[in-house]
């Protein structure tokens, strides 16, 4: 039974209500619940509800038929929405949590966070304290692991959720975590529930492998009764006679719990099935059954994982799963939740570059129109508010940076499907005073964009950059009657439709271009291969002879460098250069040869390398390379984008 007290109830009247209930055999617990202050009364007491309702300071009395009250739909009919920073769970959205089973190293969690974020995960998961069945198995990195995870989450704009295994650790971990996870093995660790509930943070409560739904809801009741308002339930498979899968995913628990409780329910398909190939179908089934989200284990190299490798998805599988969820969401009346990704505050980027170049301009230049992918990259690096100059050609970007009207520029140098953007490599050679100072990789998702009234049937003409057509070949092949019209830039193609307002013309471009011109996205994600990335570099004026220290786009010291050179036309000359890298332990991440214009059958090599931590080694390497090459251009040193 729940007694809701009036807002202004006096201490005296409250005490009278307590005494009234206790005298009639109830155990009571008082707490705030949303806006209200309530008293939950449990036990076998007998009371006249009308009489209780007439006591001074009592607003209303709700009798519940269940042993749990605060979690019950009888107490609150509308869905609870749990908020963790920018993330919401519950209501008409699907929120996806992803990350490794355990944090294994700073690099592993950073890399995983970047990959799952790119695919649309909004919360980062990872165990720092792992309750393992065997005492000899990896137990987690502890507080160090939590620090790594927090930093990785901040870098990607993702709050973090991590398992807490004891009341003492809950206090220690409180400042570093955004949401606590109570693991399946601890679902009925009541001291832990009370402690974690009292900290007031959102909690993800896993269902115990042998717990009934009622026991699970009673554990959630402990959390709410101890003080937190935000609990998300997580079905992660229960123990049955079936041994093929690690556990048995109780799909029917989703609609059952949603009927019994107002709390959001998500599903962990990874621990439920325990087999990588079965995770995605189980995840989709959970969404179809009404789950408010998922928590999925993802590892960049599952074969090397220290725990739960066999059930961890590789990032590409997770990417595909997210696309399937996005396609399925409207069927269940929901939308996949996306949260904004962090960008460097403009002022920080400007200051960093201005400190190097002494530039007083604050604008950043890009080639194309509003909504172009280069503008997306620019906003990611310098902030949405960054003042910008758009140019009609790539050389326009170099000119703006050189003449000082822009303090930096953003140009594409490589696409993962189409290869290098040679025009820009050639511009670096023509503009020796311009250097690469930062790098950024942008996922390219193409959409079919048209007028509000356009449909797939009304379209006869499609406009885009030839790259847009090439990257959406499979989709376009399904519409052989469409006439393709090439444009200079994908955003320019979209702008032309906005001007003409015709329903028979559509464009292939990014979602941002549709938004910029108020047009409709008819189909999203039409690129043939979803692993479609473009590498942009940030350019600024070179200072002195040496490569400029890059602005802290990401962090600290440069770890990647690019250069272009040619080699003498004699046996072993390229080998001699590669030998320098090999002997100094320098990793070569790109090597490409290109014809030199005006010199038939002579070639330039485009090279990217990783810079080792001891940078004095690197300076020696550069000197050695200069002595073995003919035309050496150091394009810049910068922080590699993940």
Answer for which of 40, 57, 90, 127 binds ligand PEP (CB under 6 A) is 127
CB-nearer residue toward ligand PEP: 127 or 409: 127
- Residue 41: burial class (beta carbons within 10 Å; 0-12, 13-18, 19+): buried
Q: Which stretch binds Mn ion (CB under 5 A): 306-314, 334-342, 396-404, 593-601?
A: 306-314
Nearest of 123, 164, 122 to residue 143 by alpha carbon: 164
Q: Which of 366, 373, 536, 563 is catalytic?
A: 536
184 binds ligand PEP (CB under 6 A): yes
Q: Which stretch binds ligand PEP (CB under 6 A): 179-187, 224-232, 425-433, 632-640?
A: 179-187
Q: Which stretch binds ligand PEP (CB under 6 A): 183-191, 312-320, 337-345, 466-474?
A: 183-191
Q: Which stretch binds Mn ion (CB under 5 A): 24-32, 42-50, 276-284, 301-309?
A: 301-309
* Cβ at position 312, least distance to Mn ion in Å: 8
Answer with the entry of ligand PEP, Mn ion, none that 1 interacts with (C-beta below 5 to 8 A by kind).
none
Name the helix (H) or strand (E) containing 105. Answer: none
Angle between helices 315-328 and 106-119 (to 10 degrees): 30
Q: Which stretch binds ligand PEP (CB under 6 A): 17-25, 177-185, 194-202, 631-639?
A: 177-185
* Cβ at position 298, least distance to ligand PEP in Å: 12
Query: How does 252-265 read in b/e, with b if 16+ C-beta sit within 10 Å?
Result: ebbeebbebbbbbb
Q: Which of 162, 228, 295, 534 is catalytic?
A: 534
CB-nearer residue toward Mn ion: 101 or 187: 101
Answer for which of 101, 141, 381, 407 binds Mn ion (CB under 5 A) is 101
What residues have CB less than 8 Å from 179, skipping those under 6 apart?
A: 84, 123, 159, 160, 161, 162, 201, 202, 203, 204, 232
CB-nearer residue toward ligand PEP: 193 or 476: 193
* Cβ at position 244, least distance to ligand PEP in Å: 18
Q: Which residues pair with 62 in a beta bridge?
A: 2
Contacting ligand PEP within 220-249 (CB under 6 A): 236
Phi–psi pair at 320, nearest 5 degrees: -65, -40
* Cβ at position 158, least distance to Mn ion in Å: 18
Count interface residues toward Mn ion (CB under 5 A): 2
DSSP 356-389: HH------EEEES-TT-HHHHHHHHHH-TT--EE
539 binds Mn ion (CB under 5 A): no
Answer with the entry of Mn ion, ligand PEP, none that 206 interacts with (C-beta below 5 to 8 A by kind).
ligand PEP
Active site residue 629: no
Nearest of 266, 176, 636 to residue 436 by alpha carbon: 636
HSE at residue 177, side-chain half, CA atoms within 13 A, is: 31
308 binds Mn ion (CB under 5 A): yes
CB-nearer residue toward ligand PEP: 271 or 346: 271
* Cβ at position 215, least distance to ligand PEP in Å: 15
Residue number of the CB atom closest to ligand PEP: 183
* Region of 392 on the Ramachandran plot (φ > 0 left; ψ -120 to 50 alpha; else beta): alpha
* Region of 141 on the Ramachandran plot (φ > 0 left; ψ -120 to 50 alpha; else beta): alpha
Count interface residues toward ligand PEP (CB under 6 A): 10
> What whole-number distance in Å separates Cα of residue 293 and Cα of residue 87?
12
Answer for which of 117, 262, 271, 639 binds ligand PEP (CB under 6 A) is 271
Contact 591, 607 (CB under 8 A): yes
Answer with the entry of Mn ion, ligand PEP, none that 236 interacts with (C-beta below 5 to 8 A by kind).
ligand PEP
Answer with the entry of Mn ion, ligand PEP, none that 235 interacts with (C-beta below 5 to 8 A by kind).
none
Name the helix (H) or strand (E) containing 288. Answer: helix 276-288
Long-range own/partner contacts, residues 223-226 (CB < 8 A, 24 or more apart): 223/182, 223/193, 223/196, 223/197, 224/31, 224/33, 224/70, 224/71, 224/197, 225/29, 225/31, 225/40, 225/70, 225/197, 226/193, 226/194, 226/195, 226/196, 226/197, 226/198
* Cβ at position 252, least distance to ligand PEP in Å: 18
3-state secondary structure of 639: coil
CB-nearer residue toward ligand PEP: 163 or 221: 163
CB-nearer residue toward ligand PEP: 164 or 372: 164
* Cβ at position 280, least distance to ligand PEP in Å: 18
CB-nearer residue toward Mn ion: 230 or 308: 308
* Cβ at position 163, least distance to ligand PEP in Å: 6
Q: Which stretch binds ligand PEP (CB under 6 A): 178-186, 192-200, 317-325, 568-576?
A: 178-186
Contacting ligand PEP within 550-569 (CB under 6 A): none
* Chain centroid to CA 442: 13
269 binds ligand PEP (CB under 6 A): no
> What whole-number distance in Å separates Cα of residue 398 and Cα of residue 410?
9
627: which DSSP letter? H
What residues have CB less than 8 Å from 351, skipping those under 6 apart?
A: none
* Cβ at position 247, least distance to ligand PEP in Å: 9
234 binds Mn ion (CB under 5 A): no
Active site residue 620: no
101 binds ligand PEP (CB under 6 A): yes
> What whole-number distance in Å separates Cα of residue 531 and Cα of residue 115?
11
Q: Residues interacting with ligand PEP, by CB under 6 A? A: 101, 127, 163, 183-185, 206, 236, 268, 271
Catalytic residue numbers read 534, 536
Interface positions with Mn ion (CB under 5 A): 101, 308
């Amino acid at each position: 039974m729940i007694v809701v007290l009036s807002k202004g109830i006096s201490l005296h009247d409250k005490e009278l209500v307590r005494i009234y209930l206790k005298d009639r055999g109830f155990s009571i617990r008082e707490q705030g619940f949303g806006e209200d202050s309530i008293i939950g009364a449990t036990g076998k007491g007998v009371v006249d509800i009308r009489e209780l309702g007439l006591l001074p300071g009592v607003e209303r009395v709700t009798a519940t038929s269940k042993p749990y009250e605060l979690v019950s739909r009888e107490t609150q009919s509308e869905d609870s929405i749990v908020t963790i920073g920018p993330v919401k769970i519950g209501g008409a959205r699907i929120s996806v949590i992803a990350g490794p089973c355990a944090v294994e190293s700073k690099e592993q969690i950073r890399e995983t966070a970047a990959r799952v974020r790119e695919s649309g995960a909004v919360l980062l998961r990872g165990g720092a304290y792992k309750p393992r069945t065997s005492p000899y198995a990896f137990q987690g990195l502890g507080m160090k692991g939590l620090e790594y995870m927090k930093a990785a989450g901040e870098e990607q704009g993702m709050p973090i959720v991590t398992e807490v295994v004891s009341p003492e650790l809950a206090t220690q971990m409180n400042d570093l975590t955004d949401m606590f996870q109570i693991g399946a093995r601890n679902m009925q660790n009541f001291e832990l529930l009370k402690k974690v509930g009292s900290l007031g943070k959102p909690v993800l409560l896993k269902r115990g492998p042998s717990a009934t739904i009622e026991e699970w809801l009673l554990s959630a009741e402990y959390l709410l009764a101890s003080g937190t308002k935000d609990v998300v339930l997580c079905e992660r498979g229960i123990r049955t006679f079936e041994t093929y899968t690690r556990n048995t995913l109780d799909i029917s628990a989703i609609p059952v719990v949603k009927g019994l409780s107002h709390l959001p329910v998500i599903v962990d398909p990874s621990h439920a099935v325990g087999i990588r190939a079965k995770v995605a179908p189980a995840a989709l089934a959970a969404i179809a059954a009404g789950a408010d989200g998922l928590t999925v284990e993802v590892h960049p190299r599952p074969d090397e994982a220290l725990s739960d490798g066999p059930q961890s998805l590789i990032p590409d599988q997770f990417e595909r799963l997210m696309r399937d969820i996005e396609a399925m969401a409207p069927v269940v009346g929901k939308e996949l939740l996306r949260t904004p990704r962090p960008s460097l505050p403009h002022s920080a980027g400007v200051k960093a570059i201005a400190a190097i170049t002494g530039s007083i301009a604050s604008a950043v230049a890009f080639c194309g129109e509003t909504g172009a992918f280069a503008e997306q990259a620019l906003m990611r690096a310098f902030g949405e508010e960054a003042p910008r100059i758009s140019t009609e050609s790539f050389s326009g970007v170099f000119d703006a940076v050189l003449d000082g009207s822009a303090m930096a520029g953003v140009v594409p140098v490589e696409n993962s499907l189409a290869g290098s953007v040679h025009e820009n490599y050639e511009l670096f050679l023509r503009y020796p005073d311009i250097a690469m100072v930062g790098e950024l990789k942008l996922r390219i998702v193409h959409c079919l964009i048209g007028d509000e009234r356009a449909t797939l049937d009304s379209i006869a003409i499609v406009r885009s950059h030839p790259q847009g057509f090439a990257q959406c070949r499979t989709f376009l092949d399904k519409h052989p009657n469409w006439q393709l019209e090439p444009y200079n830039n994908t955003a320019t193609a979209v702008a032309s439709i906005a001007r003409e307002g015709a329903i028979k013309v559509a464009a292939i471009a990014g979602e941002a271009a549709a938004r910029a011109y108020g047009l409709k996205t008819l189909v999203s994600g039409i690129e043939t291969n979803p692993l479609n990335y473009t590498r942009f570099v940030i350019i600024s004026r070179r200072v002195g002879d040496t490569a400029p220290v890059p602005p802290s786009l990401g962090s600290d010291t440069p770890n990647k460098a690019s250069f272009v050179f040619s080699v003498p036309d004699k046996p072993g000359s390229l080998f001699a250069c590669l030998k320098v890298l090999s002997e100094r332990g320098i990793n070569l991440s790109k090597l490409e040869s290109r014809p030199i214009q005006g010199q038939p059958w002579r070639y330039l090599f485009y090279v990217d390398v990783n810079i080792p931590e001891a940078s004095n080694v690197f300076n020696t390497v550069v000197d050695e390379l200069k002595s073995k090459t003919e035309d050496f251009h150091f394009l810049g040193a910068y922080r590699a984008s993940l």
